[in-house]
Each structure stands twice: as structure tokens, then as C-alpha cells.
Structure 1
Amino acid sequence: MMLEDEHEGNGSLVGKSQQYLGEKQQANGKPVTNGKGEDSVKQEANGKCDMSRKILTMYSWQEIQRHNQEADQWLVINRKVYDVTDWAKRHPGGHRVLNHYAGEDATDVFRAMHLKLDIVKLYLEPLLIGELAPEEPSQERNKNVQSFFLQHDSGHLSVFTNSKWNHLMQKFLMSHLKGLSAKWWNNQHFQHHVKTNIYPKDPDIDVGPLFLVGDLQPVKYGKKKIKFIDYEKQHLYFYMVGIPLLVPLYFNIKSIQLMYLQRCWEDIAWVSSFYIRHFIMLGPFYGIFGTILLIYGVKFLESAWMIYVTQMSHIPMKMSREENRDWFSTQVLATCNIEQSFFNDWFTGHVNFQIEHHLFPTMPRHNYHKVAPLVRSLCAKHGLPYVSKPMLEAFGDIVRALKKSAALWRDAYYET
């Protein structure tokens, strides 16, 4: 755990200036070598390799923040500037994840979401176009930052360290065992993790027109006189519609839609194997119709569990538009924990530590309780709420949050 202070700068545009890697600047602006050769320097990537020295353009945040569109995306990682415009469509986590950080510092989320940093850095090399000017702070000047940062302990990362093996296991677990497109799940879930409860960047809270959550969406619908459903009753039909149909209906429709529109043949094959396996194993006993009922009966039960376990930690928490907060604050304000107990740990699969799950998404879940005291103390030090509540209270907070959002919609809708 480390503290990192924000440095002040004068904000001038310095995109024209250049500096050699590995050099320092004197007060008069002349370069000073650091003892390494001027023609080449040693750099390590995937073991040991020598790379010729690159000349990097110096950029200010003013310049970088102009490149924040889908057709023109720059981002900053460890003070290095990368143009990810062409790479975005090939990004394994989906292009929207990169677009959400276009024009911003992505250092913390990059460290949190990538398992093998040395390997990922090899992919970054061709995208490198420059670095932040020396007088620029490490994060955007308008960043609402708490001036601290958690260093991810690589010793607690996932057991699957080989990227190809990880990819295969994900296809097997998500598509073959659960019958959903792994690519759709990645695109959806990664956005949720990198921009948690930020509207409209987090798809998990953009659930209109069926439900209106948070403070912003209900008011928006109300002022526009939108009433697809009687939203004042949403806390009631949440039980009748939201809980039972999320996985068997909504998830499956979205998964099929992505596979069809993007022609994801690999995912189509894996998902097909899910249904083929069930019909081979169960068809002789239950017939086609009985097998389908059994498949979706299990998904119905899974849906109820998933809704409670995930939404009790998010729906009652802060939802907002982009406030350009630091990574740590964003995750803590948008999530809450459920008190630890043997039953709670078992029932939730250890994601009752939802705050730690969001801060350390690649950490094995059974280790969350070990890092929780450190996170709690850091929150106390910087005045951030660390919310932990009993499970039954958390279940009730889902309904209370939906009723609150419904009241906001009603007030805005009937406002003269």
C-alpha cells in the first residue's frame, strides 16, 4: 500500500517538445543523459531484450483530453500516452472499456484488470506515441482525486496465469457450462467493473425502460413524461419480473443478439455444445420439451440467487454521471459489503466482500477477507465510507432504493 501525491503543473501545451527516454531535463531545458548511451538503452520486456531508443513527444493533459472520441482515443498509463483507436476493436475486454477511459489516466484500472502486466505491456509498445510532460501531474488536472493508490499484490492473483488457458477455461465455463456468450459477458462485465454505477457507461444500471434506478434516470424519464410502465410499482414487479427473468430471458436475449450481430462463430459453437450436451444427457429421459423446461428451470433458480447477491451491493449505492474520480474512490462509493459469516461467505461465494472484489477483480475470492482490514483503514484515513451491512438489511435496501427512485420519477412526471 502506497501513497502517491498529486503534482502541480502550469497546464501549458507542450506537444511540440521532445525528450529522449532515460534522460533528465535541466532547468534551462537542455537534456542531460543519465549515464546510458544516446543511441540505445536497455529495456526489459518478456525477459531481456534490447530496444533502440525512442523519441517520445511530450503532451499536456489539455492535448490528451481532446482525444476522447470513439474514432480518436488516447489514454495514459504510467505517464505514457497511447493511441488505442485502431486497437480498441481487438481489445479482449471490448472496445467500450477503452472508450470509457479515452482522454483519461487509466493506470489504476489497467493494473487492476490485467493479470500479467509484463505480457500486456508488449501489446502496448506499438501503441506508444508519447508521454506526459515533466510538469504535468500523473492524473488529469480536473481529477477528483484522493491522492492515494493501492498497489496490487501479484502474489494474490488468479491461479490461471496462462492467457490461452484462461481464454479456453472462460469459454468452457461461461459458454459450455452456462450457455451464454463469453464475449458478451466480457464486454458487459468489464464495463461494469471499470465504470461502476456510472451512467450510462455501466450497462448494469442502464435497465430502462423496465426499471429506473438511482437519482438521475428517474428524473430524466419523469421530466420527459416517459411512462412505459407504472414505475411507482417497480419495487413490486421487481419480484415478479426482475428476479425470475434476468438470466433465462434478458441474459439469453442479449447473448444471442451479440453472437448474431457480430458473427461470433466460436461462441456460437461453444453455446451450441451446452444445448447439445443437455439433450444428449437428458433427452432420453425427459424428451425435448422436458429438457428445455429443466434447463430454464435451473436458470430461473440461478437468476434469483444472482439478483440478490449482486444487486444488494450496487442498487442502494451511489449512482452518478462521470465525476472523473480516482479509481479507488469510484469503487468504494459504488459498492458495499455484506457482513462476514460462514453462511454469508458460502451463499455469496465470497462476493459479500464486494468492495474488495471491485478493487482487486483478479484476486481469488477466498482472500478478500485478508485485504478487507487494509481497505477499511485506508477508507477511514481518507474519509471515505466503508459500508458493510447484514444480508437481510441489504435485501431490503434493494426494495427501498427502487421505491426511492420511483418517488423521484413520480415527482418529476407530475410536476407542472
Structure 2
Amino acid sequence: MGKGQQGQSSTQVNLDDTYSWDDVKEHSSKTDKWVVIENGVYDVSKWVTRHPGGFKVLSHYAGEDATDAFVAFHPDKTKVKKYLKPLRIGFLSPESSTKSEIVSDMRSLRTQAEEMGLFKPRMGFYAAHLAHILALEVLGWMVLWFYGTGWSPYLLAAAILTTSQAQSGWFQHDLGHLSVFSQSRWNHWLHNFVIGGLKAASAHWWNYRHFQHHAKPNIVKKDPDITMPYLFLFGEKMPIKWASQKRGFMPYNYQQGYFFLIGPPLLLPIYFHTENLYHVITKRIWTDLAWTVFFFVRWFYFYGPLLGGLGALGLYMFVRFLESHWFVWVTQMNHIPMEVDNDTQKDWLSLQLHATCNVEPSAFNDWFTGHLNFQIEHHLFPTMPRHNYAKIAPHVKSLCIKHGLSYQTKTLLGAFTDIVRSLKSSGQLWYDAYHHT
């Protein structure tokens, strides 16, 4: 047991204390959390409630080495370390500080990417992206204003506005990951405008949810994107576990069918609206609520005179309905067909490779998916500007070959098809286990 292990939060801390991994792992409870970052041991038991990324994302690494997640999520590490310094209670003992080859190689690749300048954004790229979003917003309104509200202009305007909303979604994603500007606060400011003013959603809600996904992708009870067991079961292990416990009330062996009815059509219009509103009200994020109000005031100001109040609301929900299909298929094609499991504390490279796959790059695929077709690179380097994914990809592939990790790349259609295939396979596993155990 390391020196002074017991009662570190309430007693004088000796920064020369050293701890073994057994010491660290003992502190992973709800009220007692230690993490290791760059061989330093930190007591974050109280800090988790003030962590800007939310308490859950930090809690997911309690009792573990959080170095690679820390480096991946924080572009300004010098600033963040100022907050870390008062939390340090000692260091890992020398015998516990040895790193595996795969961990060392991944960290070397990170250093190489920094030396290549791949974390420096191109302002022209993002300015053009924002300009085309705003142009589509204006064009959608002008179609109705100039051509009237008949079915043809209505459907055309809806398609244009859906495209604008989908592309706004990819842009807010970039801003949320602090990859557009070198200054974090500029990313935060524009993120609030784009996700709130252009999309009627909460930046705080998005950060709280999305960073958990990145920290532990496809990990049961830690990744909110796969925590839908009362509707869908994913992977090979979760369905069998639920079946053995006789849990669940859905006909999961048909989930590949009802996915088309309650997945893409309803996620944005129903579930995300409800979750957003619940989040901002319960956590009192009034700034985000104000941005949402601003969006709807703007929307009804422009579309109310053309369509009436109910017509403007109907257009909004129709656009969300269309966008939801776009969003779900793109965001789930990289994860649902991959490994879903309990947390086995894999290294950063293995964790992300087991949970993600890529889609072939092309001008259309890059634009249509917001460069999320480079999902592997995005998960390994979430703050990297997306226009640089293609540059780091060959180096990631080489590292995967060296360590025997599967680097999967699919066609866009193949990735969409694999969502349905995976749902069918998981549902059948549940059915077979449920009725034969």
C-alpha cells in the first residue's frame, strides 16, 4: 500500500508519496475517485462535480490511467494542468510506471502528429463551411418567399433547410471538439451560436453526452449512444446477457425492422428534443435555453408570415424528421456494427479501434458525413481539425498493422447495410438465448 493512502482528501498531502496500481484502483467509487495522468496520481473526488466536460466522463476513468484521454480532449494542456496541480497527491511508483509498447507507440504517434502541424486548423476551410450553411439557410427561406408555399417549393425548401441543419450539425461537432480555433473560448462562443442559434440545442447537453461517448465508445453503461437496451440490443454480449436474465420487453429479433420506424425517424424530433429540454431545465443552463428561444423566435419570425404559426412549426418538425435520418445513419454506421462490451480498460488505441470503423474517403463522403467517415482518426485525435484526418490516416494504419489491430474501411452503402445486419444478428442472439436457456 502506498504511503498515506488512507484519508488523502482530508489530511496533509505529501507530494513525494508513491502509489501502486492496486492503490489507485481502490479509489474508483462514487465518492472516492483517483486518476493517473502522466504518472501523477490525482484525487478528483470533489473536482468531478466542477469538471467542464461533466462528472461522468471523468468518473469513467476513476482508478485508471486517464493520460491518453486527457491529452486527446484538452488542446491547451498548459492551462488545464493549472487546475490539476492542486489535485495531485503523489506519483505512480517506478515499478508501476512502465508502459506497454502499444501505449508508447500511440503516444509517439500523437507527438508526431503535433510536429506535423496536424492540429492547426485552416480558417479558410471552416469559413467556407459556415458560409455555405448560412447561404443554405437564406436560400431555403427565399424559395418559399419567391415561389410560394405550394408542394414543390415547400419540399425544395425543406430539402435545402435539412441540408443546412445537417451541415450545421457537423460544424457544431467540430466546435464542440475545440478543433476550429486555436483558442478554446472562441470555439465555445461559436459553438453556442451554431448549436443554439442555428439548431435549437444545448452546447452543455452535447458536451455532457458526447464526451462520454468518446471516452469509452461502445462500453456498456458508459457510452450513452449504445445505452438503449429497452429498445435495442447491440453487439454479441449484451443480447445474451439480457436473455439469460430474462430481461427486455421488445421483440429484439425484429429490431432490424422496427429500427426503421423508431430509430432514424424519431431520434431528433422526439428523443433529442425531450432530452435537451430536460437537461437545460434540471441543470439550469439558462444561457443554452436562451439560445434555443432565440432560434424559435427567428424561425417563426421568418416562416410564420409565409406559412402561419402551425405551418412554421410543421416545417420545422418536417426538417428535423428528414435530418434525423441523415444524422442516425451517418453517426451509427461507424459504431453499431463494432464490438460492444463491458469496460475491460483497454489502451487508447485498442479501445477506439475495437469500437470504430471508417468509410471510404471521397469529396461527397467527406462532405456528407462531416468527415466522420474518418471515424478512427477522429476518435484517436478528437481535437484534430477534420481536414487533416487524411494526412494522419496512413500513420494510423501502419500502427494498426504493427500491433495486429483491424483497421476497417467500408463503402458508404456497405456501412449503412452493416447497421441493419448487425441489428439482425444481435436480435437473433437474444432470441436464441432467451428461448433456449
Could you tell me how far 1:66 is from its partner in structure 2? 0.6
Query: Quick one: distance in 1 between partners of 2:260 and 2:101?
Result: 37
Structure-1 residue corresponding to 2:110: 151
Alignment correspondent of 2:175: none
Work out whether residues 82 and 130 of structure 1, in 8 Å CA contact, stay in contact via their aligned partners in 2.
yes
Q: TM-score, normalised by structure 1?
A: 0.84
Shift of 1:110: 0.7
Work out whether residues 200 and 295 of structure 2, in 8 Å CA contact, stay in contact via their aligned partners in 1. yes
Alignment of 1:208-223 (within 5 A): 208-223=229-244
Q: How does 1:392-411 map to 2 (within 5 A)?
A: 392-411=413-432
- Which digits, 9 at most, give the CA deviation of each residue in 1:167-190, with x for residues without a partner? 211211112211112111111100
Aligned mates of 1:295, 1:127 — CA distance in 2: 47
Letter in 2 for 1:85: S
Name the residue aligned to 2:260.
Answer: 239
Counterpart residue number, 1:344: 365
Tell me the CA shift for residue 372 of structure 1.
0.5
The answer for the alignment partner of 2:2 in structure 1 is 14
> Shift of the alpha carbon at 1:164?
2.3
Match of 2:28 among 61, 68, 73: 68
Instruction: Indicate which of 332, 343, 360 corresponds to 2:353.
Output: 332
Following TM superposition, by how much is the alpha carbon of 1:15 offset from its aligned partner in structure 2, in angstroms? 2.3
DSSP 3-state at the match of 2:17: strand
- Structure 2: distance between partners of 1:100 and 1:201: 7
Report the secondary structure of 1:56's partner residue: coil
What SS class does the counterpart of residue 318 from structure 1 fall into? coil
Determine helix, strand or coil for the equivalent of 1:130. strand
Match of 1:137 in 2: 97
Q: Report the Cα distance in structure 1 between the residues aligned to 2:84 and 2:319, rounded to whole angstroms.
A: 42
Q: CA deviation at 1:124?
A: 0.8
Given residue 297 of structure 1, which amino acid in structure 2 is its aligned partner? F
- Measured in 2, the distance between the counterparts of 1:134 and 1:250 equals 49
TM-score (norm 2): 0.80
1:311-358 deviation per Cα after TM superposition (whole angstroms, max 9, x unaligned): 111000111111111011100111000112222122112111110010
More helix by share: 2
Read off the aligned partner of 1:231 and give its amino acid letter: Y
Equivalent residues of 2:337, 2:418 under 8 A apart = yes
Query: Residues 55 and 400 from structure 1, CA distance in 2 versus in 1: closer, same or farther, beyond 3 angstroms?
Result: closer
More deviation in 163-172 or 289-298?
A: 163-172
Amino acid at match of 1:56: D
CA distance in 1, matches of 2:62, 2:2: 20
C-alpha displacement of 1:138: 4.6
Residue equivalent to 1:59: 19
Contact 1:192 1:202 in 2 (8 A): yes
Greater share of residues in strand? 1
Task: Rate the CA distance shift 1:348–1:275 in 2: closer, same or farther, 3 A.
Answer: same
Q: May I ask how many residue pairs the two structures share in their alignment?
A: 365
RMSD: 1.8
The one-letter amino acid paired with 1:14 is G
Deviations 1:212-258 (A, max 9, x none): 11122222332232342221211011112101111111111111111
Q: Secondary structure at the match of 2:249?
A: coil
Cα distance in structure 2, aligned partners of 1:188 and 1:71: 21
Residue in 2 aligned with 1:181? 202
Cα deviations by residue, 1:59-98 (Å, 9 ceiling, x for unpaired): 1111111111121111011101111111111111110001
TM-fit CA distance, 1:16: 4.8
Q: Which amino acid aligns with 1:148?
A: D
User: What is the correspondence of 1:273-292 to structure 2 with a 5 Å cutoff?
Assistant: 273-292=294-313
Deviation at 1:147, TM superposition (A): 5.1
Give the equivalent residue in structure 1 for 2:85.
125
Match 1:314 to one of 315, 335, 338: 335
Please state if 1:168 is matched with 2:189. Answer: yes
Conserved in 1, the CA contact under 8 Å of 2:15 and 2:89?
A: no
Q: Structure 1: 5+ residue runs without aligned partners? A: 1-12, 18-53
Match of residue 221, structure 2, among 200, 203, 209: 200
Rounded to whole Å, the distance in 1 between the matches of 2:248 and 2:17 is 52
- Distance (Å, rounded) in 1 between the aligned partners of 2:310 and 2:4: 68
Matches of 2:315 and 2:22, distance apart in 1: 57
- Find the aligned partners of 2:98 and 2:45 in 1 and give their Cα distance: 22
1:352 partner letter? N
Unpaired stretches in structure 2, ≥5 consecutive residues: 6-13, 120-178
Distance in 2 between residues matched to 1:94 and 1:126, nearest whole Å: 19
Structure 1 CA distance, aligned partners of 2:322 and 2:308? 21
Equivalent pair of 2:220/2:341 in contact (CA under 8 Å): yes
Letter in 2 for 1:407: Q
Q: Tell me, in whole angstroms, the C-alpha distance in 2 between the residues paired with 1:195 and 1:227.
A: 24
Match 1:296 to one of 317, 323, 330: 317
State the SS of the aligned residue for 1:244. coil
Check whether the contact 1:282–1:291 (CA below 8 A) recurs between aligned residues: yes
Matching residue's letter, 1:151: R
Q: Is the 8 A contact 2:244 2:433 kept in 1?
A: yes
